[in-house]
Amino acid sequence: MLVARPPAVDDVDSWLALWCPELGKDSTCVVISSVNRCDTLDEPLAALVDRVVEAPPLRGRPADVLALAGHFSRSDRRRDLAFTPVARRALTAFDWPGNAKQLRAVVREASARTDLIDVRHLPAEVLAGSGRGLSRLQVLERDDMVRCLIAPGATVVSTAAALETGKATLHRKIAQYGIRLPNRSAGSAADQG
CATH code of the domain in which 64 resides = 1.10.8.60
Average pLDDT over residues 102-123: 89
Domain assignment present for residue 51? The answer is no
Average pLDDT over residues 122-144: 76
Residue 166 has what pLDDT? 92
User: pLDDT tens-digit profile of 58-69?
Assistant: 878 888 888 888
User: pLDDT tens-digit profile of 8-22?
Assistant: 777 777 877 877 777
**Which of the listed residues 72, 88, 122 is the one where a domain comes to its end?**
122
Same domain, yes or no, for 117 and 134?
Answer: no
Domain assignment present for residue 109? The answer is yes
Burial class (CB in 10 A: 0-12, 13-18, 19+), 21: exposed
The closest alpha carbon to 122, from 112, 131, 132, belongs to 112
Residue 1 has pLDDT above 70, yes or no: no
> 2 pLDDT band (50/70/90 cuts)?
low
Residue 86 has what pLDDT? 86
Q: Label the pairing between strands 2-4 and 30-32.
A: parallel
Residue 81 has what pLDDT? 84
Domain assignment present for residue 22? The answer is yes
Which residues have C-beta within 8 Å of that of residue 144, sequence separation ≥ 6? 163
Same domain, yes or no, for 144 and 189?
Answer: yes
Same domain, yes or no, for 131 and 193?
Answer: yes
- The secondary structure of residue 10, as a DSSP letter, is G
Residue 94 has pLDDT above 50, yes or no: yes
- Give the number of domains in the chain: 3
**54-58, 87-91, 187-191 — which is least confidently predicted?**
187-191
Domain range for 167: 127-193
